[in-house]
Each structure stands twice: as C-alpha cells, then as structure tokens.
Amino acid sequence: MILKVEVMKHKRSGKTGQYLEKLHPDTVEKLNHLLAEILAYWEFES
C-alpha cells in the first residue's frame, strides 16, 4: 500500500517508531540489514 504524504502540510508528531506506520515491513527489514553496522554503532535496536 502506498500512502500519499503532503509534504507541505507535514508536522512532526514526535511519536517513536512512526516510520513503521509509513514504510512497508519488507522495506524496514531491508534497511535494517543494509544499515546494521551503523545502527549497532549508535546502539539502535533493529
């Protein structure tokens, strides 16, 4: 599912993990794999 985002109306909500609502789970998994070393360095959980 593709969500339409109106960038000119964007307001930061500050919700943690909001990207999980916007990105497909497969995309999140691929990004976590691709960025694993960086996420580990900064002690982020993926």
Residue 16 pLDDT: 81
pTM over the 0.75 mark: no
Burial (CB < 10 A; 0-12, 13-18, 19+), residue 35, is middle
Q: Is residue 26 very low, low, confident or very high in pLDDT (cuts 50, 70, 90)?
A: very high
Residue 1 has pLDDT above 70, yes or no: no
Residue 15 has pLDDT above 70, yes or no: yes
Among the listed residues 15, 16, 12, 46, the one whose alpha carbon sits nearest the alpha carbon of residue 29: 46
Q: Is residue 42 very low, low, confident or very high in pLDDT (cuts 50, 70, 90)?
A: very high
Mean pLDDT of the chain: 85
